[in-house]
Each structure stands twice: as C-alpha cells, then as structure tokens.
Amino acid sequence: MQKIFDEVTSLDKRCYEEFFLTEDILMEHASNSIALYINQNLFDKKSILIVCGSGNNGADGIALARLLSSKFEVNLYLANEPKSYMAQQQFKRVKALNIKIIDEIFEADIIVDCLFGTGLNKPLDEKFINLINTLNSYNSFKIACDIPSGINSLGQVNTIAFESDITITMGALKTSLFSDVSKDYVGEIIVVNLGVQRDIYEIEANKFLLDESDMKLPFRNKKNSHKGSYGHLNVVAGCKKGAGIIAAKAAFGFGTGLVSVVCHENLDLPYHIMQTHFISENCSAIAIGMGLGKYETDEIRKILNKPIPKIIDADLFHDKLICEVLDQEIVLTPHPKEFISLLKLCEIADVSIEELQNNRFLYVEKFCKKYPNVVVVLKGANVIIAQNEKQYVNSFGSAVLSKGGSGDVLSGLIGSLLAQGYKPLESAITASLAHTLGAKNYKKNNYSLIPSDLVEEIRKL
C-alpha cells in the first residue's frame, strides 16, 4: 500500500529545511519527470500544447516547455501573466531560448494542464471554465500536472475539471485525487520524485492507497484439515431473500467451509448451501442486513448481540438498533445513502448525499473517531475502508459493479473471511480488493455483469 497525504506543502518545506534542497531544485525534478514520461511513452507524437497558470503549477509547465523544446513542436500558452517568483524565473528562461508562446490554444497531439494544480482555492471563473471546456473537447493525449485543474484540495469539482488521461503528481499521493468525483478526471496516476526518493520525502500517514498485493486470498496451505477448519458462516435472509442467497453463494466460493442461510421460510437453495431457522451452534461469523426488509426487532437484536464476528449491511443502517452494537468489532458496508442515515442515527451529522460525497473522508473520520472498534466500508467509485484513525482507499472500482446484487456479493466475501478467522479490517480490505479486481477482469460488455459472473471471476483470482 502507498501513503496518501491531505497536503504536501509541509513535505516540500521539510525538503528545504532538512535536506537543503531549494524550490528551484524541486521544480526542476517535477518538470523533468513529466518530460521523461513524454519522451519515453509519447515519442511518436509531434506537437505539444502546455497550458499554464500564473503560479507554481504554471511554472512547472513553463519549465517543461524548455525541457522538451528540442524534441517536440512545443507551444506554450499562458492563461495569465506569471505571478509567483518561480513562474517569473522560469518565464525568463524560456524567453532566452525563444520558445514559442501562443495567444490561442489548438488541438495538439499532447496537452499538458498546468493551470492550477493543488493551489485551486476558489470556484473557476467563466474564462477558465471555457478554457477547460475547450481543452476537454480536443482529441489529444491529456496530461495533468500534479492534479487536474478544477479539482480543489478537498477533491471537489465546483463546475468543471480537466479530463486527463494521466495525472503525474509530485512527491506523494494527495487525498484530493481519490474523491469519487475525481475519478472521472484523474486517469492513471503516477507519483514522481522531487529531488529525494519517495520514502524519504514522505512521513508517517493515516491514509493509504491499496495495491493489488494487499489482497491476502484464503489459500489453503494446511493439508490436515476438514470443512470445519474453514469456518461456518450464517447469512440471515429477510424479505428480499435473493440478497441473502447471493451473499451465501459468494461466501462459499471464497473459501468458507460451511455456509447456512438463516430463514424461517423454506428456501430453494443450491445443494451446497444449507438452511437453518436459527443461528447455528457452530457458527463462526454472521452476515446480516442484505435484503432484510421488515423484521422482528427482538429476534434481530439477539442475533446482533451474539459474540460472533459480523458483517452488517443495508436495511439495518436505517434502524436505531444498529447503535446498540457499535462497540463491537464489526464490519459495516453502507452505500452513501445508508451512511448518511447511519450518521444521523448516531448523532454525528445530518447531511445530504451531496455534502457527504463532497467530504467522504471527513465523515468517515468523524464516525470512526466515535466508534473506533468498527470497520467501515463506504462504497463508491473509490471505496473507503476505515477503522479508528486509519483510512484505506480501494481505487480499483468501476461502473461494472453498478448493478443490483454487487453489494450482496461483497457482504458474502467479507463474511466468508470473518468466518475463516480473518480480523475485521483484514476481511474488509481483502474482500473489497477481490470484489473490484474480479469485476476488473470481467471481459464482457461493462453493462452486462450479474452476481454469478462476479462470483465466478473472484473464484479465478
């Protein structure tokens, strides 16, 4: 996993004070890294349009023009006059080399966005909205320097943002790159060094980007074992019984030795899934909430109070009953609408979905501060998994998963790992990665996934 930071200004300052680097040195490394990417990956292109603002993000772009001028047809567009000291210094350097400065933008082979970077702190005016709209309309390969212009430090987009194919970010990953709304603008993200190696530049962090290698699949290395060695998950089925059945199938395919669906009505289940009317005596984990609908409160309360690992989803996030078990080490898997209900029930915040989506990390942090034992899996384009003071981002999600039943599969996967003895946080991380990577491997049309397809892809991981 990789560290994520809310801001890197303090990390730059540390380079100046502790390592005796200068702003100029850091900037040269930043612009040289973009130049190196272009030289190595886009050498077949000819024309480059570099669009610069008046601050240090613009200065990066001006320096880039100097570095590429001998190999490409470089066109430098200054949206505003250089204002920062470094922008003015870099501008002197390009003028000395007679690099082409243009008055109107055009569709070049490559466009590099160096308008604002992480320095954007106010809504875009009409001039920049029109400029970014025009840049987005071009069929060019688009590179964002540090962060696509139009995304602010909180990962919010007020009106519009630059739609990049790749974002080359400086020094370290930033939280703003991983808001849900950012996902449509950042493209591939690459981190480059600024005069010192990344592990030196970075300090301790409480946010992390998950890598595929963080997925610890439940491979069976013990030869002397039996089905009871791999746990017994009980999935509580409610009014919408299909949700519980989907979760049960996913759990069985993810390594659980035994899976039982708890339901008072007789169900038509696959031959390998058992049914019980009450929680099994040898149950090692419980999955509850998926499709639960209307239920007998006292019965559900008894289930929730059993001292067994649990994954809780869906309908229970709308019932005050959930607040009675938040001292337990449990996993909660809300989508945004369910999470705002949960925040309100817990008297943490009463917010709209828009407010939540604009500040996902903030509200997850507030919830986990009040309930440090709970693992929260906030679903979204970028899944946030959090416990206590630490947050983990799974950025592998895609629109393939935007189908009914996908969340039930995730619940089954988490329940499966809990039943097999994984800790709640370990269960959430591995299950979420398997869930998204399984969908990523799906080869048919991205609108066509059904839960059984997803389970099958996960079985192949």
Binding-site annotation, residues: 56-60, 113, 117-123, 146, 149, 243, 291, 335, 407-408
Q: What residue numbers does the annotated binding site for AMP cover?
A: 407
Q: Which two tokens stand for residue 314?
A: 């869906």
Token look-up 């942090």 returns 365
DSSP string for 301-339: HHHHTSSS-EEE-GGGGGSGGGGGGTTS--EE---HHHH
Long-range contacts of 272-277, Cβ-Cβ distance < 8 Å, separation of 24 or more: 273/245, 273/248, 273/249, 276/234
Q: Which two tokens stand for residue 440?
A: 């990523």
Distance from C-alpha of 177 to C-alpha of 154, rounded to nearest angstrom: 9
List, in sequence order, the alpha helices (H) in 216-261.
Answer: 241-253
Q: What are phi and psi of 3, to 5 degrees?
A: -75, 145
Q: Are 334 and 353 in contact (CB under 8 A)?
A: no
Q: Are 175 and 361 in contact (CB under 8 A)?
A: yes
Q: What residue numbers does the annotated binding site for K(+) cover?
A: 57, 113, 149
Q: Which two tokens stand for residue 342?
A: 């949960």
Q: Which amino acid is at 454?
A: L
Q: What residue numbers does the annotated binding site for (6S)-NADPHX cover?
A: 56-60, 117-123, 146, 243, 291, 335, 408
Q: Are 173 and 3 in contact (CB under 8 A)?
A: yes
Could you tell me how far CA 335 lies from the centroid of its own chain?
A: 14
